Copies of this chain bind each other. A is one copy, B any other.
Amino acid sequence: MSAGLHARAQDVIARCREIARCTEVPGETTRTFLAPSMRQVHKLFSGWMRNAGMSDQIDAAGSLRGVLAGDVADAPRLLIGSHLDTVANAGAFDGILGVVMGVALCEELAAAGKTMPYAIEVAGFSEEEGVRFAKPFLGSLALIGELDDAMLSRTDANGISVAQAICNFGLDPNDIANAVLDPAVFGYVEFHIEQGPVLESEGRALAVVDAIAGQTRMTFTFTGHTNHAGTTPMGVLRHDALAAGAAWVVEVERYAAETPGLVATVGKLDIPSAAGNVIPGKVVATLDVRSPQDATRVAAAKHLVAFAESVASARGVTLQHATSLDQSAVVMDNTLASALAESVSRVTGNPARTLTSGAGHDAMILARRVPSAMLFLRTPGGLSHHPDEAVLVEDVEGALAAGLEFLARLRDDKAMLEQLVRNAHAYRHEAAHA
């Protein structure tokens, strides 16, 4: 890789860290939907985009939209993006990295004086984390025409609605329809940190995402009887809700470990009014199950309900369960993902690693209307949503090189680009009639 690309990678990291100083909370990085600090972010990007010869605007949902023109006026368009908002006390790379990378790739093309047979739009979505309105993906939902009136009426902790927040920022919620994707867009690519430990553990820099896992979230309530820990013998006279719950937690771990691709976690387990010398009468626990295969996830949830019922019943404990989320897996577009994988392979000299994303991303939303793909960058320590979140400069350099290789393939392989455009048209048609 060129010395120039190394410097560009350093610059990408420096820009992410500069943006991390745009915050609602001094001393940390916290930036929610259209908070005042978002203006600084827009201003920084606007400068970088204009230097690269890109047009730039803010759409009615507050997302930044910059376009590098193609070599003809009605060129097909590739969308590259991620989100500008953060969780509370965040790191500098989750989301932002993907937007900065998109601009950096355009700058590389512009610096080399290259024009492409397609335009590149870089999108920085205003909202993905769901912090302010307890509803994620507001920015990308606007691009697929799903930021509807119900969502615009949601209010934050101060009673301010999404629509009002848009007005307060100087934008017009009546223009939301104009935020919808340009019909020329044939694909969406998102660069994102892995936010997990897999690439680091394997000594790899990059992975192509094959799918975003589906999620089931449930609550399990085991109800036994509180009794004196000393005077109640073991066995049939004891109805220990925790003993039942614990046997179930052990099975959650065992079942997931033996099922390829499945992850299952009991993150919360509460014993109301617990005391050391009282047999737990009630346990309330959560279950989070994810898999790229919906059938695997549905079978897991079903098995774990049946198992919970059996360990409860064996102890004279009753079980109630409720499902709060049941979200299907989203498969990435095979043509786009393969082109990304070949680009990674060309750059690294090794076959590209494929990973399933266990977390949700904007690509999950965009994929409803446009073929989408993602590239993951190694996350040191698997650490994310934390001030110590980091990326390695050599991984950013690798991702930039793979991105440039991918853009060159789209330019050089005319048949593939035409195929992608046809796919996108068919895909959008299908989505519209689904």
Contacts and interface: CB of A to CB of B under 8 A. Distances in A.
Contacts of A198: 231, 233, 237
Given A243-B253, A249-B246, A229 B195 contact: no
Interface in A220-266: 227-237, 240, 242-243, 245-247, 249-250, 252-253, 256-257, 262-266
A231 B357 contact: yes
Contacts of A382: 227-228, 231-232, 237
A291 to B, nearest CB: 10
Contacts of A268: 271, 274-276
B233 A243 contact: no
Nearest to A257: B234
A326 interface: no
A95 interface: no
A234 B296 CA distance: 15
Given A249-B242, A268-B271, A359 B237 contact: no
Nearest to A324: B276
Contacts of A275: 267-268
A240 B265 contact: yes
Contacts of A369: none
A224 B278 CA distance: 27
A405 interface: no
- Stoichiometry, copies per complex: 2
A42 B359 CA distance: 68
B230 A197 contact: no
Contacts of A228: 195-196, 358-359, 382, 384-385
A233 B263 contact: yes
Nearest to A262: B234
A286 interface: yes
Contacts of A231: 194-198, 357-359, 382, 384
B276 A288 contact: yes
Contact of A243 (B196, B197, B237, B249): B249
A123 interface: no
Nearest to A267: B276
Contacts of A215: 230
Contacts of A262: 234
B234 A253 contact: yes
A288 to B, nearest CB: 5
Contact of A246 (B201, B246, B263, B277): B246
A339 to B, nearest CB: 24
Given A229-B267, A243-B250, 12 more contacts: A197-B233, A217-B277, A230-B357, A232-B358, A234-B264, A245-B246, A250-B250, A266-B280, A267-B280, A268-B276, A269-B280, A276-B288
Interface of A: 194-198, 201, 213, 215, 217, 227-237, 240, 242-243, 245-247, 249-250, 252-253, 256-257, 262-271, 274-280, 286, 288, 290, 357-360, 382, 384-385
Q: Which 10 A-B pairs have the closest CB atoms?
A: A196-B231, A230-B358, A246-B249, A229-B265, A276-B286, A246-B246, A231-B358, A268-B274, A243-B253, A234-B257
